[in-house]
Amino acid sequence: MRSRTILIVDDEPRSREGMKKILEVWAAGHYEILTASNGISAMEILEEIPVELMISDIRMPGISGLSLVSQIRDKKIQRQPSVILISGHAEFEYAQQAIQLSVVEYLLKPASREKLITSVENALKAGEEQEHIGFMRKMADPQLMAIRDEDAALSDPVRQAIDYVEMHIEEAISLQEVAGLVHLNGSYFSSLFKEQCQMNFSEYVARRKLQKAKELLLKTNLPIAEIASLTGYQTVKYFNKLFKEYEGMSPGQYRSSMRNGTEANIQ
């Protein structure tokens, strides 16, 4: 697991070191606190190290804090950090531009210890939420999401079948078994499910199992054989074959490619 990092960018040594000391005590070793005296040095760090949060002064010689944030948003760096901007001037124009650049907090100097820590905690929390949303969106199966969005329009038997799949994802699930549970014959249940979900029941089960497998691949370090078993597949060979059909790559390749991207910190 990579270390978590907060970057402070301020051309005033006293301000920069003061914030660093406050945050080092607060972090208690859970975050590495790095500093940069200008925007150029900050960009070099950001291009080399994934940074969770950047705290930057707005008024700096050369590259201003706002220009620095704008450059970060335009670049494909390892991670887009949450940002807190600090200014000694309460100028509305700064605040406006900060909002447009998706800056999480805008503080006025001198910021108290309590205000700085509260802002850092809020910014880190907001960053985690955005990262999780982006992660889930990237991993999600669009066709499963479409069914979820139309939940209110589904009939009771179809909804019950979907709930059953959720509760028994680690088991082998057959159409006939589920049709019996919802008190319909297999043929009618199959037609009803396909009509309402735009896919047949066996495809839905496969997609939902693979969705669960993707979650396990990224959120755990479980062996692929165990993940296959936990999603109801008796053989790894069949699990790998099905996964590749739907995802275009093997489970191992999927895990590596996603973890080497923006989701590298998922545990």
Domain harbouring 166, CATH code: 1.10.10.60
Token pair for 197: 């979900």
pLDDT single digits (tens) 9-34: 999 999 999 999 999 999 999 999 99
H helices, E strands: number in the chain: 13, 5
DSSP-assigned letter for residue 16: H
Is-contact 93 22, C-beta < 8 A? no
In a domain, 267, yes or no: no
In a domain, 175, yes or no: yes
Do both 255 and 147 map to the same domain?
yes
In a domain, 137, yes or no: no
The last residue of a domain, from among 85, 112, 131: 131
Do both 246 and 172 map to the same domain?
yes
pLDDT at res. 107: 86
Amino acid found at 70:
S
With cut-offs at 50, 70 and 90, classify the pLDDT of residue 263: very low
Do both 10 and 74 map to the same domain?
yes
Q: Which phi-psi region, left, alpha or beta, contains residue 28 (left: φ > 0; alpha: ψ -120 to 50)?
A: left
The last residue of a domain, from among 131, 165, 183: 131
Which residues are within 8 A (CB) of 101 and not within 5 positions of it... i.e. 6 or more apart?
Answer: 66, 69, 70, 73, 83
Do both 242 and 146 map to the same domain?
yes
As for how many domains the chain has, the answer is 2
Q: What is the mean pLDDT of the chain?
A: 88
The last residue of a domain, from among 78, 105, 131: 131
Domain harbouring 25, CATH code: 3.40.50.2300
pTM over 0.85: no
pLDDT single digits (tens) 225-244: 999 999 999 899 999 999 99
Do both 148 and 196 map to the same domain?
yes
Do both 100 and 61 map to the same domain?
yes
pLDDT single digits (tens) 60-116: 888 888 889 889 888 877 688 999 988 877 666 677 677 767 787 888 888 899 999
User: What residue numbers bound the domain in which 35 lies?
Assistant: 5-131
Do both 165 and 123 map to the same domain?
no
Average pLDDT of the residues in 204-220: 92
Q: Regarding predicted confidence, which is higher, 43 or 73?
A: 43
Is-contact 183 158, C-beta < 8 A? no
